[in-house]
Amino acid sequence: MDRRQFVIGSLGLLAPRASRAASARIEILPDEPIGVISPDIYGHFTEHLGGCIYGGIWVGENSPVPNVGGIRKALLDQLKRLKPPVVRWPGGCFADSYNWRDGVGPRAQRPRRTNFWGNTPYLAQAPDGPVKYDPNEFGANEFVRFCRLAGAEPYLAANLRSLPAYDFYEWIEYCNSPAGSTSLADLRATTGDREPLRVRFWGVGNESWGCGGNFTGDEYAVEFRRFVEWVPRFDVPLAFIASGPNGPDYAWTRSFFSKLVEKGKNALRNVYGAALHYYCGTSGKGDAIDFTLDDWYALLAKANRMEDLIRNHWQIMGEIDTERRVKLIVDEWGAWHQTAGIAPGYLFGYFPTLRDALVSAITLDTFNRHADKIAMANAAQLVNNIHASFLAAGEKFTVTPIFHVFEMYAAHQGGTSLPTEISARAVEGLPGLAGSSSLHGKRLVLTIANPDAGNAQETEIIARSSRLSPVRAMVLASQDIHAHNTFEHPNALEPAERPLSGGSGASFTYQFAPASVTRLEFDLT
Ligand code: AHR
């Protein structure tokens, strides 16, 4: 793209000089379904890190901040709009230092433990200043309560590096054994939950190639087999999630799966998913808000690498798991910029911009297109941390542009993913438009990101052998690629419904705004 096409307005905003006549085309193939989009692709991740749990989710029952049993009420109210299917906790790297027993029983008696991630901002105002420990006020019962209030399934990540397999066994027993049946069920009752928590999703370690034990793939496979063999099930269809590769570490995937099946392919029955982690990182100075146009394109190009990561890991998995019993999970993803002072102690907390919204759209569209491969994904992280949908400090609260993408894209959950063939002129090495579509009965949902910061894309849309009747268009866009919400201006960037005038019938024409995320809905006949 020619930088001279931009004019710098009086507010320093990038604005298109004129939108070129475009020649993009999207063809959707309703007769070639890819698979059902698991709602769990729209999951979230929470960790005892910075201001995510303490100060973000948990404010405590006696807080002046409106709360439901200690959980921030504004967060619950807004989170429900995203229809969150699943939330992962307590880490991340924290998980492999965490003893679940520290977070049960009466809160006042729970131990304080080191949190190697640093300060606990929730207690930053303590008389003796910021503290570097975890108060354990928020444990498994509080987390599952949070999930239930939000309408999500809990996904617990267990400690594989520093606790024995027996503690994993007992955490499952604590959560899932029937009321009154075991001593751990009685302990659970003293923490407020007589009935079983019925936790289905269990992560067996986290990043076991790094903070989770620094294993090789084949060493970890042996540990994994040991942890998941002969655990109590209590009529819950347990789903074990293995620590997967770090981005393009294909050697990890190959060695883990090869070693896992060394004693027979039956071992694959115990793996619900292999969890890839990919942060597309940052670019330029690493600042969340102060970035150049080159940084914009560089980050979006890195987000787009998710496509190759999924294809390549999936292919390697298929060489060993020939019956395709195991799915891919991406239980940490997002951009990752520098900490930018939301509040003291909020490590990795910053104000996400429109750029991060496009990272979200490009990534979620990629997952939708691979609905046959991806069982779950969890954006890192839900609140105050890295790729956050929410920011909160004291009574201050805002949703971010990432939230808006999740809300727009929730319409894909449970739909049938359809091939969406896009031809559009490339921009700075990126596909000119990126997107996905899904069918829900007769309703077609099409989401498209236009990464071109200076030009709209006039696009012809076709659904093969079908007629399109447009229903509505929602657009998240700004002339300022740095647009973001703050505590003072929580509605600075939000989606708006746009008029539709592209006709109906065999084809429909739509102009995708520069630097935008769009959701179009049609009825298909
Ligand atoms: O999300 C922050 C950290 O990033 C997690 O603790 C870890 O799993 C990853 O490296």
Atom in ligand 1 nearest the alpha carbon of residue 279: 4
Quote the pLDDT of residue 502: 67
Q: Sheet containing 434-440: give its strands across.
A: 35-36, 416-418, 434-440, 443-450, 516-524, 468-477, 496-498
CB within 8 A of 77, min separation 6: which ones? Answer: none
Determine the angle formed by the axes of helices 401-409 and 354-369, rounding to 10 degrees: 30
- What does the alpha-carbon distance between residue 436 and residue 286 come to, in Å, rounded to a whole number? 29
DSSP letters, 121-176, are GGGTTSTT-SB-EE---S-HHHHHHHHHHHT-EEEEEE--SSS-HHHHHHHHHHHH
Atom in ligand 1 nearest the alpha carbon of residue 348: 2
- 169 Cα: distance to centroid of ligand 1 (angstroms): 24
pLDDT exceeds cutoff 60 at 131: no
- Average pLDDT value for the chain: 92
* Smallest CA separation from ligand 1 atom 6, residue: 92
pLDDT exceeds cutoff 90 at 126: no
- Residue 242's nearest CA partner among 264, 269, 219, 221 is 221
pLDDT exceeds cutoff 60 at 1: no
pLDDT tier at 345, thresholds 50, 70, 90: confident
What's the average model confidence in pLDDT over 514-520? 98
pLDDT tier at 447, thresholds 50, 70, 90: very high
pLDDT exceeds cutoff 60 at 383: yes
* Smallest CA separation from ligand 1 atom 2, residue: 92
User: Could you give the 3-state DSSP secondary structure of residue 476?
Assistant: strand
Catalytic residues: 207, 332
Is residue 16 within 8 Å of residue 454, measured between CB atoms?
Answer: yes
pLDDT exceeds cutoff 80 at 133: no
Placement of tokens 């100060």 in the chain: 55
Give the binding-site residues of ligand 1, using a 6 Å CB cut-off: 47, 49, 91-93, 206-207, 332, 380-381, 386
Q: What is the pTM of this model?
A: 0.94
Is residue 449 within 8 Å of residue 358, measured between CB atoms?
Answer: yes
pLDDT (tens digit, 9 = 90+) per residue, 282-337?
877 899 999 999 999 999 999 999 999 999 999 999 999 999 999 999 999 999 99
- 93 Cα: distance to centroid of ligand 1 (angstroms): 6
- 45 Cα: distance to centroid of ligand 1 (angstroms): 10
Burial class (CB in 10 A: 0-12, 13-18, 19+), 490: middle
Higher-pLDDT residue of 82 and 1 is: 82
Please give the share of the chain, as a percent, with pLDDT higher than 70: 93
- 136 Cα: distance to centroid of ligand 1 (angstroms): 19
- What does the alpha-carbon distance between residue 397 and residue 75 come to, in Å, rounded to a whole number? 8
Quote the pLDDT of residue 101: 98
Query: What distances in angstroms separate CA 71 from CA 56, 208, 261, 384, one per listed residue?
Result: 9, 31, 43, 15
- 87 Cα: distance to centroid of ligand 1 (angstroms): 15
Tell me which of 52, 332, 386 to substitute to probe ligand 1's pocket, judged by most ligand atoms within 8 Å of the beta carbon: 332
Atom in ligand 1 nearest the alpha carbon of residue 332: 1
pLDDT (tens digit, 9 = 90+) per residue, 183-220?
999 999 999 999 999 999 999 999 999 999 999 999 99
Lowest mean pLDDT among 13-17, 371-375, 408-412: 13-17
* Smallest CA separation from ligand 1 atom 8, residue: 92
Atom in ligand 1 nearest the alpha carbon of residue 207: 8
Atom in ligand 1 nearest the alpha carbon of residue 381: 1
CB within 8 A of 494, min separation 6: which ones? Answer: 404, 476, 485
Higher-pLDDT residue of 465 and 332 is: 332
Residue 253 pairs in a beta bridge with none
Question: What is the torsional sign of CA 52, 53, 54, 60?
Answer: positive
Quote the pLDDT of residue 18: 34
- 150 Cα: distance to centroid of ligand 1 (angstroms): 23
Our CA angle for 429, 432, 433, nearest 5°, is: 135
- What does the alpha-carbon distance between residue 483 and residue 514 come to, in Å, rounded to a whole number? 13
Please give the share of the chain, as a percent, with pLDDT higher than 90: 86
* Smallest CA separation from ligand 1 atom 9, residue: 92
Quote the pLDDT of residue 130: 52
Quote the pLDDT of residue 123: 57
What's the average model confidence in pLDDT over 452-473? 95
